[in-house]
Amino acid sequence: MKKLAHAPHTIALRLNGVERSGECEPRTLLSDFLRYRLGATGVHVGCEHGVCGACTVTIDGAAQRSCLTLAVAAEGRDVTTAEGLAPVGEQLSVLQAAFRRHHALQCGYCTPGILMSCTDFLKREANPSESQVREMLSGHLCRCTGYTNIVNAILEAAATINAATAGKDPAGPEVDSQRSDAGSDV
């Protein structure tokens, strides 16, 4: 029994659109597997008991706590993390750009998880009210911002996405012109 628990398994999954695989024990948490095996360090671990939400990823499009998920349960699944949110060729997605515009993050540690919950949420709720956004956000703990800027960013992102979907706004996703060496901030 003990031996079986420690026998390494090879897990293959799709991470941010790329087929990836790595070895882990059956007891390895998905958060640890993504961070330390696959290098997705945008997955942050804040509590390891499912309350803080920092480790949230989407699995087949649904937001899930990667600290409460075993890596073996992600075999063959489609996993997305904050690293995979921006459209190809863009630095930031509409949602990410709205977060920057609204100062919706400070230390940024809880942010990747919030972005993943929002991504799932905005797909299900294209036109959310502020109270719906706050309700969704209540699954995440942020100790820096006091939340309001996050709420404003999400509402604005929803409006932008809606307008783009309706073909009213030609602006499309925000292109980052902040730095010429897009992608590396320092």
Partner 1 sequence: MPGSTGPDCVIKTVMCADYNNLAAGTPRQIEPCRIYRCWLTSTQPIGRQCDNSDYTPGKSNEYRNTSYRALAARQRAQACPTDDVVVNDLRTSVKPDAWVGQPLERREDAALLTGNGRYADDLGTRPGTLYAAFVRSPHAHARIKSIDMTRALAMAGVRTVLVGSDVRDWSRPFVVGVKQPMEHWCLAVDKVRYVGEPVALVVAQDRYIAEDALDLIEVEYDQITATVDVEAAIGESAPLLHEAVGSNVVSDRQFAYGKPDAGFASAAHRVSLKVLYPRNSCTPIETYVAVAEFGSDGDYDVLSNFMGPFSLHAVMSLALKVPASGLRLRMPRDGGGSFGVKQGVFPYIVALCLASRKAGAPVKWVEDRLEHLLAATSSTGRVSDIEAAVDDDGRIVALSYDQLDDCGAYLRAPEPATFYRMHGCLTGAYRIPNLKVRNRVVLTNKTPAGLVRGFGGPQVYFALERLMQRIAVELNLDPLDVYRRNFINSSDFPYQAAAGALIDSGDYHAALDLAAKQGNLEQLLRRRDAARADGRLYGIGFAAIVEPSISNMGYITTVMTREARAKAGPKNGAITSATVSIDLLGAVTVNVASVPHGQGHITALSQVVADVFGLRPNDITVDVELDTRKDAWSVAEGNYSSRFAGAVAGTAHLAACKLRDKLAVIAAAQLECDAKDVVFSNGNVFLGQAPEQGLKFTRLASGPHWAPAVLPEGMSPGLRETAIWTPPQLEAPDEDDRINTSAAYGFAFDICGLEIDKDTGQVRIDRYVTAHDAGTLLNPALADGQIRGGFAQGVGAALMEEFAYRPDGSFASGTFADYLVPTAVEIPEPIIAHLETPSPFTPLGAKGIGEGNNMSTPVCIANAIADALGPDVDPEKIVLPMTPTRMIELIAPAETPPADFKPTMAGDGERFSTSGSIDIAAPLEAVNRVLHDARALARVIPGCRQLEALGDDRYVGDVSLSVGLVKISFHVEMSIVDEEPMQRIRLSGKGVGTLGTAEGDGRVLLSRTDTGTRLEYTYAFTLTGKIVAVGARMIESATGIVLQQLFQRLGRVASGRAPAAGLWRWLTRLFGRKT
The residues of the shown chain that bind partner 1, judged by CB under 8 A, are 5, 25, 27-29, 35, 40-49, 51-52, 54, 81-83, 85-86, 91-92, 96, 99-103, 105-112, 115, 133-135, 137-152, 156, 176-179, 182-186
> CB-wise, 77 or 150, nearer to partner 1?
150
Q: How far is the CB of 5 from partner 1 (least distance, A)?
A: 8
> CB-wise, 77 or 92, nearer to partner 1?
92
How many C-beta atoms surround the C-beta of residue 134 within 10 A?
15
- CB neighbour list of residue 18: distance below 8 Å, 6 or more residues apart: none
**Encoded tokens for 124:** 């299900």
Q: How far is the CB of 168 from partner 1 (least distance, A)?
A: 19
> CB-wise, 48 or 78, nearer to partner 1?
48
Q: How far is the CB of 22 from partner 1 (least distance, A)?
A: 14
> CB-wise, 74 or 142, nearer to partner 1?
142
Q: How far is the CB of 77 from partner 1 (least distance, A)?
A: 19
> CB-wise, 20 or 167, nearer to partner 1?
20
Q: How far is the CB of 131 from partner 1 (least distance, A)?
A: 8
Pair 86, 92: CB distance under 8 Å: yes
